Every structure is written in structure tokens, then in C-alpha cells.
């Protein structure tokens, strides 16, 4: 399958994989430019000071395919990094491959083939034996799923399952584990934790169950918490509570957070950096401010326009067309059939290049490393046309962003 690598060494961009880490897989490489993380959203944590450390999680060319009667490429060569204490969000519509990509990180893909590289603290996870993965699950990486009640075994008490999580990652006596579990329940905001310990999952309300699931994910004291659509399906009022909870936890535990959601509001409240996924590929990435203020990729723009805005009265514009068939995706840029600025002969050929934008890094510091790059994978921004210089840029004008810059509290 051609065009899997979305990066391209043309135009005013360095490649995504510019850091030497790509070549020496096992050494802890230092990115070429020291980078100040422009302040975490809630001001806590020392993410910025650790910017010159190696990333916690390093994903490179991650590809996941399912083999049914057809080959489905659910995730097609995505790469990114996550540093300690960072908050990263992945947004996109259903079927974009967001969930599959994070499940592929930790080896939860049962019936598919995962290729590429996923390094956790320098250790390769793709193809690693289950024992290695087990060691990382829980104590290194914790995960919260969408349907909270589905995270629990229905015939065991919630408390016992949290204790199970504690035992799996830490060495505590039964009593200590139980006490720890109760503490965790309290930490996530569940009243009467000792009493609730002996309740069954179906006796918890939706919001409480999600809190308990979060407690369970934290039981191993992970360095990274992955949350896959944690607020989807919850009441709006309950959602706010969960979002607040995540915010507190990230701050207090100095954890990294990888948040998946199709709800841009939730992601923008919790994540300092955001990546936009479409049809298994990352189409744009940048800081929250960049992405919400000046989205570049036509899909990102369309996505933003389709989301209601509390402050501004405007029409919702659904994205035209339907999501692509991942067993037979469009050639070239996978978004081109639905893109208002698509150019025949260009966008439907080879995969588009990734272009970096000059507004990268919030406080104007020169880019480098993954942290504050604002990039989009789209031909519209390529400076030189593959066929020559005569590139019709009138289409690009149509994707200038005219939406209001949202207020984002830092």
C-alpha cells in the first residue's frame, strides 16, 4: 500500500521523524533543540523542565490492520511522542481509528496485526511478549474505557476489582491493598468509599462507575493514563465532574494523559496538545490554542464547524459525505472525497506531505521535538507542487479559517 508514510521531506517542514531517535531505537536520544513547553494548562507540573528528557511514549509508524474477508487498515502509520507530565488529546469522528490506535499501544488488539514501533521508556512494546506488556499495564500505563460499567466484571464487587488492580502491580498485603482501594475511591470523589467498596458495578450510577473505573486504572500508580472516550454517554453535568477529576488527578499525580474523544470540548479543556485523526491517519497536530485558533487542515476546520459553540450563534455544518471504507480507502489523502479544497490529480495520488506552520510554539520559541509543532498533512500548504511550480492556490484560499478564536482558559 503506497503512501503509508504521511511525512514528506519537502516544503518548509522538517520531517516528523527528524529526531535521531528513529535510528537508534534503544538509546535515550535527546531532541536537537531544547524546548520550553509553553506552560501546562493548569500551571502545575514540571513538564517544561523535563522537556529535554526522553519521551515517555514514542510511537513511530504505528499501523494496525484487521484481516477479515478484506484487509482493513484501521490505523495507518501514525507517529507521535508523549513526554512525562504532558496532556495529549486525540480527536476525530467515530471510526477514525483513535480507539484502535491506543489499544494497539498496549497489546489489546486480539485479531489484528500491529506493526511499527511503540516505545515505552525505551522498551519496545510492539511484538513484545505478554509478560513484558503485563509489567507495563497498570504500573506504567493505566487505561479508562468508554462504558464504565463495561470495565467491571459484573459478578464481583467494585472494591475487590480495585484490589485486584493493586495486587497486579504492587506488592501490598491484603489489608493494605484494601485500604489503598478505599483511598482511591475517595480520591476520585466517591462518597462513603468504605461502604461503596462492597457494592457491585450495577449498583453504581454512570458517573460514579466511571470514577471507580478511573480509580481502578490508577491503582497501579501509572505514569500515563489513557482515557478512551471517558465522558461519552454520560450526562453533561456528570461529564463536567469527570473532566474536573481528570484535571485534578493529572496535576496531583503528575501523570501524563492521553485522552481520546470525539468531543472537542472535553479535549480542549484537558489537553495541552491535540492531534486530529481521520481514517487512521493523523491529519493535523498542534497545541490547543493553535488547533482551535487557526486550524489548517480542511478536516479540522470542518470538524470545528460541525461542533456547537456556546458563545457564538452559528449554523452547524455537518461534514458532507460519509466516512471512508477502511478496507478500500481513498487513494492519496483519505479525506479528499469530502474535502472542499481537493484538487483532482493531486490529492488523489500519493499521500500528502506534512507541513509545519510558523505559528508553532506558543511563545514563539523555535520549534524542535514534538512538543509545539503545528503541522498539517495536506497538499494545500505544500510550497512546491509535485508537478512543478504552477500550483493553483485558489483552493487554498477557501480554507482560510474565519471562525472565532475560542476562549481557552489556561
Asked if residue 283 lies in contact with residue 300, where contact means CB atoms within 8 angstroms, the answer is yes
Residue span 253-292 as binding mask against another protein, x where in contact by CB under 8 A, dash where not: ----------------------------------------
Distance of closest approach, residue 20 Cβ to another protein, in angstroms: 32
Examine residue 408 and tell whether it contacts another protein (CB under 8 A).
no
Q: Measure the CA–CA gap between 137 and 131, rounded to whole angstroms.
A: 10
Residue span 208-247 as binding mask against another protein, x where in contact by CB under 8 A, dash where not: -----x--xx-xx---------------------------
Among 48, 200, 253, 386, binds another protein (CB under 8 A): 200
Q: Which is nearer to another protein, 27 or 94 (CB)?
A: 94
Q: Which is nearer to another protein, 197 or 391 (CB)?
A: 197
Examine residue 165 and tell whether it contacts another protein (CB under 8 A).
yes
Q: Which window, 22-30, 161-169, 367-375, 379-387, contacts another protein (CB under 8 A)? A: 161-169
Q: Which window, 134-142, 172-180, 281-289, 334-342, contacts another protein (CB under 8 A)? A: 134-142
Examine residue 365 and tell whether it contacts another protein (CB under 8 A).
no
Examine residue 155 and tell whether it contacts another protein (CB under 8 A).
yes
Segment 52 to 71, residues that bind another protein, using CB under 8 A: 66, 68, 70
Among 80, 145, 335, 391, binds another protein (CB under 8 A): 145
Among 326, 333, 371, 382, binds another protein (CB under 8 A): 326
Q: Measure the CA–CA gap between 25 and 118, rounded to whole angstroms.
A: 10
Examine residue 138 and tell whether it contacts another protein (CB under 8 A).
yes
Q: Which window, 117-125, 195-203, 243-251, 368-376, contacts another protein (CB under 8 A)? A: 195-203
Among 154, 191, 318, 345, binds another protein (CB under 8 A): 154
Examine residue 151 and tell whether it contacts another protein (CB under 8 A).
yes
Segment 306 to 325, residues that bind another protein, using CB under 8 A: 322-323, 325
Distance of closest approach, residue 79 Cβ to another protein, in angstroms: 22
Among 203, 235, 244, 383, binds another protein (CB under 8 A): 203
Examine residue 137 and tell whether it contacts another protein (CB under 8 A).
yes
Distance of closest approach, residue 199 Cβ to another protein, in angstroms: 9
Nearest CA to 286 out of 399, 400, 376 is that of 376
Per-residue buried b or exposed e for 110-133, using 16+ beta carbons within 10 Å of the residue's own CB: eebebebbbbbeeeebbebeeeeb
Q: Measure the CA–CA gap between 220 and 55, rounded to whole angstroms.
A: 20
Segment 70 to 109, residues that bind another protein, using CB under 8 A: 70, 72, 74, 94-95, 103, 106, 108
HSE-CB for 301 with a 13 A CA cutoff? 20
Enumerate binding residues for another protein (CB under 8 A).
Answer: 66, 68, 70, 72, 74, 94-95, 103, 106, 108, 130, 134-139, 141-143, 145, 147, 150-156, 161, 164-165, 168-169, 200, 202-203, 213, 216-217, 219-220, 322-323, 325-327
Amino acid at each position: 500500500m503506497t503512501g503509508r508514510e504521511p511525512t514528506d521531506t519537502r516544503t518548509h517542514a522538517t520531517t516528523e521523524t527528524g529526531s535521531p531517535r528513529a535510528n537508534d531505537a534503544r538509546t535515550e536520544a535527546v531532541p536537537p533543540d531544547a524546548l520550553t513547553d509553553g506552560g501546562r494548562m493548569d500551571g502545575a507540573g514540571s513538564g517544561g523542565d523535563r522537556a529535554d528528557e526522553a519521551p515517555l511514549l514514542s510511537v513511530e509508524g504505528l499501523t494496525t490492520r484487521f484481516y477479515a474477508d478484506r484487509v482493513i487498515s484501521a490505523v495507518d502509520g501514525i507517529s507521535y511522542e508523549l513526554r512525562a507530565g504532558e496532556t495529549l488529546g486525540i480527536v476525530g469522528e467515530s471510526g477514525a481509528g483513535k480507539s484502535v490506535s491506543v489499544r494497539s499501544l498496549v497489546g489489546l488488539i486480539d485479531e489484528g496485526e500491529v506493526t511499527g514501533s511503540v516505545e515505552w521508556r525505551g522498551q519496545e512494546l510492539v511484538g513484545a511478549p505478554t509478560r513484558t506488556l503485563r509489567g507495563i499495564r497498570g504500573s506504567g500505563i493505566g487505561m479508562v474505557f468508554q462504558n464504565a460499567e463495561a470495565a467491571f466484571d459484573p459478578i464481583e464487587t467494585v472494591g475487590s476489582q480495585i484490589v485486584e488492580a493493586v495486587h497486579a502491580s504492587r506488592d501490598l498485603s491484603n489489608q493494605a491493598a484494601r485500604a489503598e482501594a478505599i483511598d482511591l475511591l475517595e480520591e476520585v470523589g466517591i462518597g462513603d468509599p468504605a461502604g461503596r467498596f462492597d457494592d457491585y458495578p450495577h449498583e453504581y450510577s454512570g458517573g460514579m462507575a466511571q470514577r471507580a473505573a478511573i480509580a481502578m486504572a490508577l491503582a497501579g500508580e501509572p505514569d500515563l493514563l489513557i482515557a478512551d472516550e471517558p465522558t461519552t454517554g454520560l450526562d453533561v453535568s456528570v461529564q463536567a465532574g469527570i473532566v474536573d477529576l481528570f484535571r485534578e488527578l493529572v496535576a496531583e499525580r503528575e501523570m501524563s494523559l492521553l485522552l481520546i474523544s470525539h468531543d472537542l470540548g472535553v479535549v480542549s479543556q484537558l489537553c495541552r496538545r491535540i492531534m486530529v485523526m481521520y481514517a487512521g491517519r493523523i491529519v493535523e497536530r498542534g497545541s490547543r490554542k493553535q488547533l482551535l485558533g487557526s486550524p489548517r487542515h480542511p478536516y479540522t476546520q470542518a470538524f470545528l464547524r460541525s461542533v456547537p459553540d456556546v458563545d457564538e450563534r452559528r449554523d452547524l455544518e455537518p461534514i458532507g459525505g460519509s466516512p471512508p471504507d477502511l478496507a478500500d480507502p481513498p487513494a492519496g489523502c483519505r479525506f479528499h472525497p469530502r474535502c472542499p479544497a481537493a484538487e483532482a490529480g493531486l490529492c488523489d495520488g500519493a499521500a500528502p506531505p506534512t507541513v509545519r506552520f510558523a505559528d508553532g510554539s506558543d511563545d514563539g520559541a523555535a520549534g524542535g521535538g514534538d512538543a509545539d509543532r503545528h503541522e498539517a498533512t495536506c497538499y494545500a500548504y505544500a510550497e512546491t507542487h509535485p508537478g512543478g511550480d504552477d500550483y493553483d492556490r485558489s483552493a487554498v484560499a477557501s480554507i482560510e479559517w474565519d471562525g472565532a478564536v475560542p476562549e481557552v482558559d489556561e
